[in-house]
Chains A and B, each alone.
Chain A
Amino acid sequence: MRDEPLVLGIETSCDETGVGIVRGHTLLADALASSVDQHARFGGVVPEVASRAHLEALVPTMQRALDEAGVTLADVDAIAVTSGPGLAGALLVGVAAAKGYALAAEKPIYGVNHLAAHVAVDTLEHGPLPEPAVAMLVSGGHSSLLLVDDLTAGVTPLGATIDDAAGEAFDKVARLLGLGFPGGPIIDRSAREGDPGSIAFPRGLTAPKDLVAHRFDFSFSGLKTAVARWVESRERAGEPVPVADVSASFQEAVCDVLTAKAIDACRSNGVGTLVIGGGVAANSRLRVLAEERAAKHGITVRVPRPGLCTDNGAMVAALGSHLVAAGVAPSRLDLPADSAMRLTEVSVPG
């Protein structure tokens, strides 16, 4: 389908430098460079380290993406770039580079919303998204429930974390247990050997009174503290810490709350499709529990493969392609990097 738009996407909102190329809904290239190893000893992403790494990685990552897709910048119909939300200095590297590419190759540029891109990426695997849909985005940087009425125009936030992001909770608990960074995959692995019902950790914002004001919001800070208390009491008593059981019980608490609220959001909005994105979407227990609970209510769950759930350039290209196809006007060359970009803005208006 030659007449579908060829769109290039650039992502630098956190610690992954991504360049993706799509034609319509078809993924042609997805090149990625990660600075995750440079952050490991700090137990979390250091913004300045991430920004430096983006600047070093951008040109080579772009070259790999172009080579993989077998196209040149001259062939591209539009360039999309994550404008926000994310780390300000990191975003700015990608936005500046995208402007350089757009200017030099004389192509339109779209500054797009990172969270909307996490939703759009699913179209690369599962085709056009039925609207309305509910999206749950869970990663080290975000934990949100969104109502997607029209991905070209705007997304309605239903709820978000009021403290730590879900992925952040995984990182902190992994560190507490001495398991390493990033925490998500490590806890997932450790949990497989443990009993998820062995320790009753709290489910944040699920008490009846919380459901009034925070029905679709999340809180993981109390859970993290509860895990820390539990582990510390064990240590003080001179007893061994059952790492696998703690991992499994913690993971169960997170996944229980996430899926319960996501299904509730679908049902209360009369929505039959739930899209899950973000790094935590790769969690094996989350996927199983979401499927199980959705099936009971006739809700379809769509989760892109793990490589597309975490931050990447393909998601940005996918959203850009969607905007081009819908005839949305491109952004201007003075588009900002907006670390607090709101969800009501899918792309920076021209």
Chain B
Amino acid sequence: MLVLALDTATPASTAALVEVTADGLTGVAERRTVDPRAHGEKLAPEIAAVLADAGHRPRDLAAIVAGLGPGPFTGLRVGLATAASMGQALGIPTYGVCSLDALGRAAGPGRVLIATDARRREVYFATYLDGERVTGPEVAKPGDVAALLRASVDRAAGEGALKYGDVFAVPVEEHLLYPPGAALVAFAADRIRQGAPGEVLTPLYLRRPDAVEPSGRKPVLT
């Protein structure tokens, strides 16, 4: 079954095609652009390109898997709006996966911290043991994350780990900065094989909107 994976929870816009079979999955094509302000422009052409690369048309897709974040909201919503609309148009299920989980799985065995840039000098983070999430996802200052973790992880991955590498004081997997499409699909593979009903794609915001209720009227007479 041909599955489209999308992720826009980091500065990368990722579109990947993955073939899910009865006992495994194979990456078919993947495109990625790294530009934190360009998700809205880059993602759709990337999807068209991966389909063209693989000689497929949209109607060949059996399911869509999207990274739910956490990540900067504006970019994150691009991936989810695109996934949801495509799923609706094609009448195929959409499944959501925590974007950090894809990095955690791709990081492989051991105790790993995944951190992505949450802006405002904070990171989105979660910890993994052999690819399975142990804590998180949460958002916090890198110093607080380091204090919380003490020595409970051996390595770190994700662009937030690279940016604040000196704070975390563990080796950083510099090749693993953005969620890979195939790893996202892996978390939904069983549901895809079983034909489980799709789900509404709700972002993992982890932060409330910035909005202040107005206080009393300011006087204009002096």
By a CB distance below 8 angstroms, the chain B residues around A340 are none
Q: Find chain A residues with CB under 8 A from B214 CB.
A: 42-43, 175
Report yes or no: A97 in contact with B81, Cβ–Cβ below 8 A: yes
The reply to whether the CB of A163 lies closer than 8 angstroms to some CB of chain B is no
Is B90 in contact with A232, judged by CB distance below 8 angstroms? Answer: no
Contact of B84 among A58, A73, A175 (CB under 8 A): A58
Interface of chain A, main secondary structure: helix
Cβ of B148 under 8 Å from chain A: no
Q: Is B186 an interface residue (CB 8 A)?
A: no
Asked if A36 is at the interface of the complex by the 8 Å CB criterion, the answer is no
- Supposing A92-B74, A106-B57, A233-B221 touch, asked if A98 and B85 sit within 8 A by C-beta, the answer is yes
Instruction: Give chain B residues whose Cβ lies under 8 Å from the Cβ of A94.
Output: 81
CB distance from A139 to the nearest CB of B (A): 21
A41 and B84 contact, Cβ closer than 8 Å, known pairs A51-B74, A334-B45, A335-B41: no
- State the interface size on chain B (CB cutoff 8 A): 40
**Alpha-carbon gap, A332 to B40, bound state (A):** 12
Distance (whole angstroms) from the CB of B77 to the closest CB of chain A: 5
Task: Report whether A232 and B83 are in contact in the complex, using a CB–CB cutoff of 8 Å.
Answer: no
Contacts A103-B44, A335-B41; A42 near B85 (Cβ below 8 A): no
- A197 CB to closest chain B CB (Å) equals 24
The answer to whether the Cβ of A223 comes within 8 Å of any Cβ in the partner chain is no
Encoded as 1 (CB less than 8 Å from any A CB) or 0, chain B from 183 to 221 comes to 000000000000000001011010001111110010111
Let me know if B112 is at the binding interface, CB within 8 A. no
Interface residues of B in 54-105 (CB under 8 A from A): 57-58, 73-74, 77-86, 88-90
Residues of B within 8 A of A43 (CB): 213-214
B77 and A93 within 8 A (CB): yes
A97 near B84 with CB under 8 A, answer: yes
Known A-B contacts A48-B210, A49-B209, A229-B220; A104 and B90 likewise in contact (beta carbons under 8 Å): yes
Task: Give 1 or 0 for each of A97-126: 1 = CB within 8 Å of chain B CB.
Answer: 111111111100000000000000000000
Which A-chain residue is minimally distant from B49 (CB atoms)? A333
A52 sits at the interface (CB 8 A): yes
The 7 closest A-B pairs by CB, nearest first: A100-B85, A104-B89, A48-B209, A99-B44, A96-B81, A97-B85, A46-B211
A residues near B, CB below 8 A?
Answer: 41-43, 46, 48-49, 51-52, 55-56, 58-59, 62-63, 73, 88-89, 92-106, 175-176, 225, 228-229, 232-233, 236, 332-337
